Amino acid sequence: MLSVVHRPVVVRAPSKVNLHLSVGDLRDDGYHELTTVFQALSLADTVAVVPAAELRVEVRGEDAAQVPSDHTNLVWQAAEMLAEASGRPPHVAITIDKGIPVAGGMAGGSADAAATLVALDELWSLGLTRLELDRYAARLGSDVPFCLHGGTALGTGRGEKLLPVLARNTFHWVLALAKDGLSTPAVFRELDRLRAAGDPPRVDDPQALMQALAVGDAAALAPLLGNDLQAAALSLQPGLRRTLRAGVAAGALAGIVSGSGPTCAFLCADRDTAVEVSAELAGAGVARTVRVADGPVHGARLDDDESQH
């Protein structure tokens, strides 16, 4: 008997860096109101889906051992959600190739979830509208809608209410991946503790930063980068101060902790400088791995070279 071999549907899932992240005080419902400017970066995972006898998740790459392959993986939840909504069994094999550091503050899990929505929309020919995809994304997590859209965007609420931000030019980044991850809830708890005990710095509103983005001026953007979670991430991993100093000493325009950390993101004047800074940082031994990336890039979208149409 002939068996049908399906080529996988493959989606590229870009990471994000927060150029600006302002965290409001803890609300009664346990959440913090956020104002953030995200940028999608070329450092990415790929997510491939094929029909299978049952729902299965496989994770590949250096960090694979730290990622669950059961129902706690966001891609599993995305598949179950779309299967239920479209009245079919969630019978797909999902393979994630991790390029994004795990628990690194770069929205790896959210990127994979967004990519799974796009991949299954294609595999199952669902014909979902942008609005429908957005709604599923928001149910999966507050960073998932941005991972779907990509580009540069202003996020409010818990980060899920998005407005596109004009960003001229490509910005060049170096990412220093830390040896150990940081749990996002633990970093928020540490910020609450620091705020109860004192007065850690708070970033201004993002107006000036958005102007620098519109002009496309990396040198003007650099001093405006800011992250309220940085103090908390540094408090939990004090060694990150050395990493931040080393990147600037190597020639970056500025360095910040990305989101809840511990990845440090360095903005550079151009690609050549980014390559030099990455080589210096790799040699200085202040990071587990160093990567060069640029942004803004598109959100989760079909990888035309790899996918069947």
Residue found by looking up tokens 């390029």 in the block? 99
Phi-psi category of residue 121: left, alpha or beta, with phi > 0 → left and psi -120 to 50 → alpha = alpha
81 labeled part of a ligand binding site = no
108 labeled part of a ligand binding site = yes
Closer residue to ligand ATP (CB): 212 or 257: 257
85 labeled part of a ligand binding site = no
- Integer distance in angstroms from the first to the last C-alpha of the chain? 25
CA 300 to each of CA 12, 94, 117, 147: distance values in angstroms, whole numbers, following the listed order: 6, 15, 9, 6
Closer residue to ligand ATP (CB): 250 or 290: 290
Which is the catalytic residue, given 16, 45, 63, 97? 16
Closer residue to ligand ATP (CB): 67 or 154: 67
Residues 6+ apart with CB under 8 A from 183: 103, 260
286 labeled part of a ligand binding site = no
Closer residue to ligand ATP (CB): 99 or 280: 99
Distance CA(117)–CA(286), nearest Å, equals 36
Question: Is there a catalytic annotation at residue 161?
Answer: no
251 labeled part of a ligand binding site = no
247 labeled part of a ligand binding site = no
Which is the catalytic residue, given 45, 143, 228, 303? 143
> Interface with ligand ATP by CB under 6 A: which residues?
66-68, 72-75, 96, 102-110, 112, 143, 184, 259-260
Closer residue to ligand ATP (CB): 36 or 278: 36
Question: Is there a catalytic annotation at residue 143?
Answer: yes
Closer residue to ligand ATP (CB): 143 or 303: 143
68 labeled part of a ligand binding site = no
User: How many other CB atoms are found less than 10 A from the CB of residue 217?
Assistant: 14
Find how far residue 151's CA is from the centre of its chain: 12
- Residue numbers in the known binding site for ATP are 101-111
Please give the positions annotated as active site: 16, 143
Known binding residues: 101-111
